[in-house]
Amino acid sequence: MESDVVAQFTEITGSNPSLATQYLQLADFNIEQAMQLYFENGGAPLTEEPVPSATGPSPSRPTGYEDNSGVVHIDSDDDIAIDEARSAPQARQPEGLTFEDDEAMARRLQEEMYRDGRDSSDGVRAPIARTTETLVGPEADFDDGDMQASILGQLRARQQRSSRPGIFNQRDTAEIWAGGDESSHRERLAAATGGASEASSKQNMLAEMYRPPFDIMSRLPWDLARQEGRENEKWLLVNIQDQSIFDCQVLNRDLWKDPGVKETVKEHFIFLQYSKDDSRATPYLQYYFQASDVSENYPHIAIVDPRTGEQMKVWSGPPVVKPAEFLMQLHEFLDRYSLKHNVRNPVAKRKPEKKEKSIDTMTEEEMLEMAMRNSLGDGVEQTHRVVDPDDLTRSTEDVKGKGKAAPTDDVLMGEDDLAEEPVEEASSLFWTIPDDRPHTEPPADPATTTRIQFRHPSGRVIRRFALVDSVRRIYEWLKADPPLPEKAGVEFELNSMGRNLIDSLDLSIEQAGLKNGTVMIGYLEDL
């Protein structure tokens, strides 16, 4: 029975029986699952990877060839050579290598990989080669079996033309980051990088360093990811990458490996990371990222509402956002927005900058002005700039000017005097807090301390507190050392997640939910 399944697998995929047995054993001889794994993995062996040798002689004959039927023949003697190359001791790396050396090497390897062997001394990327595909053969009288064979043949050909795996283009194979001993993990890493990680210990280190965040990524298609987000009340966090831009690789190295970022993403988001050439990214690129062909828009990260499909926040273009900054902005977003049906999210207070007119609708004067502006280098960046929708929910001035009352002031003036009692009580509590106790930041310890971001009319400030410190300690610090010197002695309010912290003076920072949080400072004289 198993031999029949192996024969059927080899007939459809064009692989050899040994490779077919590997995939079938992995899928418990379920031919549908085995074929899916085979095409997703590009038909690569699961246990054996070619290893380039730095000292051994190059082979005098090819390790395999493809006949006219599309079948790849591999000599079994090559397996012995691969095993011997793997078992050979590797050269000891010189000590004293710095982090900058690793990054410089990573940049060089990436440039070599995406240069595709062409001379790039002029700094201009070669044009994309023309490709032609035939979806269905010219025969008009074939049966269902011929059609299936034709489709599978096209899938194999397309997979062969896809970019080869490497350190900066690692494959997401099944359970590749599962636990196990060191040798098993190394084999899985070699399968993900197409054997590039086996070249040297340096290459292996780079492969680990720039490994995509498979442990927090969702494999769901776009529509199913939105459905899961609606059911579990989680935002969609999308990262579109251009593998040829090193800043995108820096995200994998620094941002997505940060423990705080990973914890927040797992708890509140469904994380989707796509390459811009990935077919799974097509729905997102069509609706949200039409300027995906502009390199200045990378790295690209966005938050999407799974209920409405609205793009809520965007990080696009250099410089690469730092992990601490990104984490603060994530928590600020979670403070301002909610997926609860009874919560009203912020709405846009201003319109985005006016986009360029279509050339067909321009007058001669407008076309001449645009040509002059583009020739001077102005306006090109403006045309393709990705707007952050979250910025549109903030007014150009964070605080209203003096003499400008809020529209609700008239309503508040007409309310009963009983409504003013809580305000007076809160005001009296504020003045009982001492103003001569400045704050000294404790040593950094993720287990006992946290960083809190404070936003005020002129900007923001970040301070570290102990988790056991009371909320009163924050008031004492702000009164003793105000971020705006001209506001010294002015009464203020602290708000977080829609509540006034004056009611939580005796709670600890951890109990008040301020860990890695954002606090808004509002001065009463400006409200």
Q: Is residue 432 part of a domain?
A: yes
Q: Is residue 7 part of a domain?
A: yes
234 and 331 share a domain?
yes
CA atoms 429, 434, 439, 444: torsion sign: negative
Q: What pLDDT is attached to residue 231?
A: 93
330 and 434 share a domain?
no
Number of Cβ within 10 Å of residue 448's Cβ equals 12
User: What one-letter code names the amino acid at 267?
Assistant: E
Rounded to an integer, the average pLDDT of 364-376 is 74
Q: Is residue 27 part of a domain?
A: yes
Q: Could you tell me the pLDDT band of residue 182, with boundaries at 50, 70 and 90?
A: low
Q: Could you tell me the pLDDT band of residue 404, with boundaries at 50, 70 and 90?
A: very low
Is pLDDT at 145 greater than 80 in this prediction?
no
Q: Is residue 450 part of a domain?
A: yes
Half-sphere CA count of 188, side-chain side, radius 13 A: 16
Evaluate whether 229 touches 265 at the Cβ level (below 8 Å).
no
Q: What pLDDT is attached to residue 175?
A: 53
Half-sphere CA count of 482, side-chain side, radius 13 A: 19
Rounded to an integer, the average pLDDT of 297-311 is 92
Is pLDDT at 56 greater than 50 in this prediction?
no
Find the CATH number of the domain harbouring 17.
Answer: 1.10.8
Place of tokens 């009874």: 342
One-character DSSP codes across 211-228: ---TTTB----HHHHHHH
Number of Cβ within 10 Å of residue 443's Cβ equals 8
Q: Could you tell me the pLDDT band of residue 213, with boundaries at 50, 70 and 90?
A: confident
472 and 375 share a domain?
no
370 and 424 share a domain?
no
Average pLDDT over the chain, rounded to an integer: 74
Greater confidence (471 vs 136) lies with 471
Phi and psi dihedrals of 411, rounded to 5?
Answer: -65, -40
User: What one-letter code names the amino acid at 411?
Assistant: V
372 and 452 share a domain?
no
Q: Is residue 255 part of a domain?
A: yes
Question: 436-487, pLDDT tens digit by residue?
Answer: 889 999 998 888 999 998 988 777 888 999 999 999 999 999 999 998 888 8
Residues whose CB is less than 8 angstroms from the CB of residue 152 and which lie 6 or more positions away in sequence, other chains included: 12, 13
Q: Is residue 322 part of a domain?
A: yes
Q: Could you tell me the pLDDT band of residue 19, with boundaries at 50, 70 and 90?
A: confident
Greater confidence (59 vs 104) lies with 104
Find the CATH number of the domain harbouring 315.
Answer: 3.40.30.10
Cα gap 168→309, rounded to integer Å: 31
Cα gap 349→336, rounded to integer Å: 15
298 and 369 share a domain?
no
Find the CATH number of the domain harbouring 479.
Answer: 3.10.20.90
370 and 266 share a domain?
no
Contacts of 198-203 spanning 24+ positions with Cβ under 8 A: 198/49, 198/51, 198/52, 198/86, 199/51, 199/52, 199/54, 200/54, 200/90, 200/91, 200/93, 201/90, 201/93, 202/93, 202/105, 203/167
One-character DSSP codes across 318-351: SSPPPHHHHHHHHHHHHHH----TT-PPP--SSP
Residues whose CB is less than 8 angstroms from the CB of residue 412 and which lie 6 or more positions away in sequence, other chains included: 419
Evaluate whether 43 touches 35 at the Cβ level (below 8 Å).
no
Rounded to an integer, the average pLDDT of 489-517 is 88
Q: 3-class DSSP state for residue 481?
A: coil
Residue 129 carries which DSSP code?
Answer: P
Question: 247-300, pLDDT tens digit by residue?
Answer: 888 898 889 999 889 999 999 999 999 988 888 888 899 889 888 888 888 899
256 and 306 share a domain?
yes
The total number of structural domains in the chain stands at 4
One-character DSSP codes across 405-452: --TTHHHHHTS-GGGHHHHHHHHHHHHTS-S-----PPPP-TTTEEEE
Which residues span the domain enclosing 38?
2-56+63-87
Q: What pLDDT is attached to residue 177?
A: 47
Q: Is residue 214 part of a domain?
A: no
Q: What pLDDT is attached to residue 64?
A: 55
378 and 434 share a domain?
no
Q: Could you tell me the pLDDT band of residue 380, with boundaries at 50, 70 and 90?
A: very low
467 and 516 share a domain?
yes
Is pLDDT at 171 greater than 60 in this prediction?
yes
Rounded to an integer, the average pLDDT of 383-395 is 71
378 and 300 share a domain?
no
457 and 493 share a domain?
yes
Q: Is residue 451 part of a domain?
A: yes
Contacts of 343-349 spanning 24+ positions with Cβ under 8 A: 346/393, 347/393, 348/389, 348/392, 348/393, 349/392, 349/393, 349/394, 349/395
